[in-house]
Amino acid sequence: MKRLVAWCMLALAVLSSSSAFAADKLKLLIVDGQNNHNWKATTPILKQFLSDSGRFDVEVATSPANGAKPEDWSSFNPDFSKYQVVLSNYNGQLWPEGVQRNLEKYVSGGGGLVIVHAANNSFPQWAEYNKMIGLGWRGANFGDRVTTTPEGQVIRTPKDQGPGAGHGSQHEFSIVVRDREHPVLKGMPVEWKHSKDELYHGQRGPALDMHILATAYSDKKTGGTDAHEPMVWWIPYSKGKVFTTVMGHAEQSMKCIGFQSVVARASEWVATDKVTLPVPADFPSADKISESK
Ligand code: ZN
């Protein structure tokens, strides 16, 4: 009898701890449906490594296809308030007013937003979105440009000076961590080699309260700017946080363990203000990329 009771207690403990673990998972919504990139291939990669981390319940909201008419948009109205993290893999038509206001309300109320690669190309005409992302894929006349010195001092270049948004040829390049104490990057090598990707340069925007966390040197040899361009940054938006990485052009770029670790840890951080996900043992080093299968 004693043994039976012990068994029952053990079973109960296991059950309650596993359900507690499930309850601990953060609800994360990926938004996609339009992009000048292959979102049908990249959303499953994002979904898989986020789910595999064990920290997130991932759902996907897919918008109507490019060219959708106003009446087609009535079915697209994600309830952002149900999630702790919204991750945008979307670059396309402007969302209906109601969806825009809902995202603003969600983030300003404390929600977390993560922007990946071309999601920062979206919505130049949406002023609050530009404030959230800080810098976007915009022309030189759109707003300030932000880079750093080799030592990491921030340089602001006013509009109409220097290049607008672009990138050189795709290549492997080094990510330099500029804020080693930030919870998302803490424990990562100060410099690590990212898989083949586009190295965005000349991003433009209001860049208010922008915290640059990592940069990459954009070499003229690969069609770049000879500047240290921001790769990872975050911006507070009222009570919420918006975290951007311009890495992640295609499938191979997203298979970089470094990229995956930045996105997963950022997703946890914007939701909870803490990071519990460890830096993986197979993280890229200064001279060697590391990719998932
Ligand atoms: Zn791209």
CA of residue 130 to ligand 1 center, whole Å: 19
In order of 4, 160, 274, the CA distances from 166 in angstroms are 68, 15, 33
H or E element in which residue 106 lies: helix 97-108
SS3 of 231, please?
A: strand
In order of 70, 133, 175, 251, the CA distances from 208 in angstroms are 32, 9, 23, 31
CA of residue 201 to ligand 1 center, whole Å: 12
Q: Which of 117, 74, 119 is nearest to 99 (CA)?
A: 74
Tokens of 41: 């291939």
pLDDT in tens, the chain (293 residues): 455 555 545 444 444 444 445 558 999 999 999 999 999 999 999 999 999 999 999 999 999 999 999 999 999 999 999 999 999 999 999 999 999 999 999 999 999 999 999 999 999 999 999 999 999 999 999 999 999 999 999 999 999 999 999 999 999 999 999 999 999 999 999 999 999 999 999 999 999 999 999 999 999 999 999 999 999 999 999 999 999 999 999 999 999 999 999 999 999 999 999 999 999 999 999 999 999 99
Question: Using CB atoms within 10 A of its CB, is residue 143 exposed (0-12), middle (13-18) or buried (19+)?
Answer: buried
CA of residue 231 to ligand 1 center, whole Å: 13
Tokens of 283: 């993280």
CA of residue 139 to ligand 1 center, whole Å: 16
CA of residue 229 to ligand 1 center, whole Å: 15
CA of residue 235 to ligand 1 center, whole Å: 22
